[in-house]
Amino acid sequence: MPDYKAPLRDIKFVMNELLNGEQHYASLEGAEDATPDMVDAIIQEGAKFSEQVLSPLYQVGDNEGCTWSEDGVKTPTGFKEAYQQYVEGGWPAMTADPNYGGQGLPESLGIVMSEMVGTANWAWGMYPGLSHGATATIDLHGSEDQKQVYLTKLISGEWTGTMCLTEAHCGSDLGILRTKAEPNADGSYSITGTKIFISAGEHDMADNIVHIVLARLPGAPAGTKGISLFIVPKFLPNEDGSVGERNAVACGSIEHKMGIHGNATCVMNFDGAKGWLIGPENKGLNCMFTFMNVARIGTAIQGLGAAELSFQGALAYAKDRLAMRSLTGPKNPEGPADPIIVHPDVRRMLLTQKAVAEGARAMIYLAAMQADVVHRGKDEAARKEADELLGFLTPIAKAFLTEIGYEAANHGVQIFGGHGFIAEWGMEQIVRDTRIALLYEGTTGIQALDLLGRKVLMSQGESLKRFTKQVHVFCKENADNEQLKEFIEPLQAINKEWGDITMKVGMAAMKNREEVGAAAVDYLMYSGYAVYAYLWARMAKVAQDALANGTSEEAFYTAKVQTARFYFKRMLPRARGHVEAMLAGADSLMDMSEEAFII
């Protein structure tokens, strides 16, 4: 199995050299503790925990899985102990509100930690990861009493949290959910219904689990306008904050899944469980979506993690595995064959993995820093600008990165050949674990509709223009840079084309609204390749400047430029196919009648 090694040099490159992390943190309200020394110490310690504690449990979780019984769910060997170390290290509190026990550091530092944790062991990382949604919900919408009781325990890590949204009949269409909330005389509510696909819904790692549940009040309006949000704990808290009697919520079963076996995906039964309303009645979805951008960025990390871990495993194997001779003559003349890294097709796959992982890191950290500004910016205009940019980038990051991250994971299996299909190497586990990322927090199709329909067309293209203007400014500033010409010219071209094709799709949609759904996924993928082009051009500039100024890390910066060149020559051309497909129209999809779909 791949031994995860945190890519600290590239993490620091993106944070400090590409995105000017020191200046960024200095500009935020209440981020005085995020000094360069503090940031570096956090990253170093996070890397040690991820490499030494979590990575060795990666295959353990896959092999053992979780075990259900009427008494609860038992997690794989070592998971509970690792969580105790995580809590003792203060990691759950890192970015949380100091008023409730948090350390108050910027959210983007939490994203860096989530990357390392998730890449080392995604199934384990989902247990504390799911608490983020519950924590954010209570922090933003809970009463002061709710914060004192629940938020403090979630922040300390003593308790974990879940988001109980999905039901068997509705999936992402939450407007037709059936879970009911009946008011009690004491101001609480009696919650009855069944939720499915609840990650970390039951486990043995923490003293209590706080479920955030969507349900309907009596007489609530139909559809999404009649959904409310409730806190429903596994154990009812005592007045002193300790764990009290068991609530009427239980895990009915755990799913038998393709991957992430170490995380319990639960069917949760609420049988008149006691819960408390969060936020206003019938505004549950509004409350939930206030933190959804950050949650979806968290999901995008799985695409990054899959590409990074698969690349690390495949690179080591490609340097060691001997097979055939180089077409230009032996590169290992003393051996019976050459290492497979000399072969062009193996390099194609390795460079794709590298370009995907490093581009994903840049996109996710850029989005995370926008979230920092939204929550801590000192200027209202800057906060608004960052919020709009974050909203635009979120569906691209979530869907595009999980799609190409999954592709990169498959390349890892391919590089190993037949050995990649064998479980002991660990490469096929990455593929299985990653497949879910394309589904949860909204499928690729749902994210694509959000991007094209809601973010771009409903804003009359303003959200797109806001981003393409940044790209235009970068290109204009570097128009005379001969070294960057190979990147700037294609970047300028796709940046202009992006607006042109958006107008064409929008005009077609005015005649037939099905055109939006027909074009959406290709539009999202095209947008992802365009954003990557911008980020890789910027990374190439930073690297070229470092090389021009003299550096002791010539190999690192040279590789960065060469990876940018590979991206522009070998991956960006994929965007052309997406243009042809999205402009082909909806007829080829919609003309066939349902009856004509015959087996």
- The residues assigned a catalytic role are 441
Task: Give SS3 for 3.
Answer: coil
Say if CB 210 and CB 139 are below 8 A apart. no
CA 229 – CA 212 distance, rounded (Å): 7
Helix axes 462-477 and 485-511, enclosed angle (nearest 10) = 160
Counting Cα atoms < 13 Å in the Cβ hemisphere of 280 gives 6
Return the ∠ at Cα 518 (arms to 582 and 535), rounded to 5°. 50
404: left (phi over 0), alpha (psi -120 to 50) or beta: alpha
DSSP 163-202: EE---TTTTT-GGG---EEEEPTTS-EEEEEEEEEEETSS
- The closest alpha carbon to 446, from 174, 159, 202, belongs to 174
Counting Cα atoms < 13 Å in the Cβ hemisphere of 406 gives 17
Pairing of strands 189-199, 208-215: unpaired
CA 433 – CA 480 distance, rounded (Å): 45
CA 92 – CA 313 distance, rounded (Å): 29
Six-digit token string for 294: 């950050």
- How many residues in total does the chain contain? 599
CA 392 to chain centre: 15
Q: How far is CA 580 from CA 124, 390, 456, 577, in A?
A: 41, 28, 20, 5
Pairing of strands 265-278, 235-237: unpaired
Six-digit token string for 14: 């993106």
Say if CB 344 and CB 154 are below 8 A apart. no
CA 565 – CA 218 distance, rounded (Å): 60
Return the ∠ at Cα 328 (arms to 325 and 334), rounded to 5°. 45
CA 448 – CA 528 distance, rounded (Å): 11
